[in-house]
């Protein structure tokens, strides 16, 4: 059985007025909620539509920039879409990732470093058609309204580097010892 809240939100998410209204409100509310709860609670909580906090480095300012985004899971990565609510310009966070693919995500109370990779070609088509538009049907409308190529990013976890212990120096016995 479909969650009625999910059904309502996904139906509204396809509407132009919904994107126009919520693009100025939802990111601020979700950023506040996500930071306050460590990435556990967002506006769409209870709908089954997952949200994460992505922190990139501003390509012009060099400062950390945090944005809440819907995501899907694909082959060990978190997948996010640079739809920008169907606007003609790319979102700043996507341009930041293109300039510097190293970022941090907070998901369900856990955070960690990721490396962003643009998904292209056959993989892009497969992910778009079988995963992304199923999780958020509004993406189809956003792509049509934007009139541009929408980047899809795989946020792949960065494995922590284990420090290597320096080897103990080998001492040779000296002559006569």
pLDDT 10s digits, 8-41? 566 666 666 666 666 666 666 666 776 777 766 6
Top CATH class of 4-157 equals: mainly beta
pLDDT 10s digits, 59-68? 999 999 998 8
170: pLDDT strictly greater than 60: no
Listed in sequence order, the residues at least 6 apart from 69 whose beta carbon sits closer than 8 Å to its beta carbon are 51, 52, 53, 54, 80, 81, 93
Task: In whole angstroms, give the CA distance from residue 125 to residue 119.
Answer: 9
pLDDT 10s digits, 125-150? 999 999 888 887 888 888 888 899 99
pLDDT confidence of residue 1 = 39
Q: For residue 90, give the H/E element and its range.
A: none
Sign of the torsion formed by the C-alpha atoms of 68, 69, 73 and 76: negative
pTM over 0.85: no
Residue 149: half-sphere exposure toward Cβ, Cα within 13 Å: 8
Q: Categorize the per-residue pLDDT at 158 as very low, low, confident or very high, splitting at 50, 70 and 90.
A: very high
pLDDT confidence of residue 174 = 60
pLDDT 10s digits, 100-125? 999 999 888 888 999 999 999 999 99
146 with 84: CB under 8 angstroms?
A: yes
Residue appearing with tokens 């490396």 = 115
Domain ranges of the chain: 4-157
Q: How far is CA 30 from the centre of its chain?
A: 13
Return the biggest CA–CA distance within the chain. Answer: 90
Pairing status of strand 77-81 against strand 51-57: unpaired
83: pLDDT strictly greater than 70: yes
Report the percentage of the chain scoring pLDDT > 70.
66
76: pLDDT strictly greater than 90: yes
76 with 156: CB under 8 angstroms?
A: yes
Residue 71: half-sphere exposure toward Cβ, Cα within 13 Å: 24
């Amino acid at each position: 059985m479909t969650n009625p809240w999910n059904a309502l939100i996904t139906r509204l998410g396809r509407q132009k007025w919904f994107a126009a209204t919520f693009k100025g409100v939802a990111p601020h509310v979700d950023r506040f909620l996500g930071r306050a709860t460590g990435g556990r609670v967002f506006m769409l909580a209870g709908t089954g539509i997952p949200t994460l906090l992505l922190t990139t480095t501003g390509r012009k300012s060099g400062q950390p920039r945090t944005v809440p985004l819907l995501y899907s899971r694909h082959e060990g990565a978190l997948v996010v879409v640079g739809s920008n609510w169907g606007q003609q310009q790319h979102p700043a966070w996507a341009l930041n990732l293109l300039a510097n693919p190293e970022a941090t995500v907070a998901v369900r109370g856990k955070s960690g470093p990721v490396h962003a990779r643009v998904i292209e070609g056959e993989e892009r088509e497969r992910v778009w058609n079988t995963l992304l538009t199923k999780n958020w049907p509004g993406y189809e409308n956003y792509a049509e309204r934007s009139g541009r190529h929408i980047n899809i990013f795989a946020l792949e976890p960065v494995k922590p580097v284990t420090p290597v212990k320096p080897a103990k120096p080998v001492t040779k016995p000296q002559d006569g010892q």
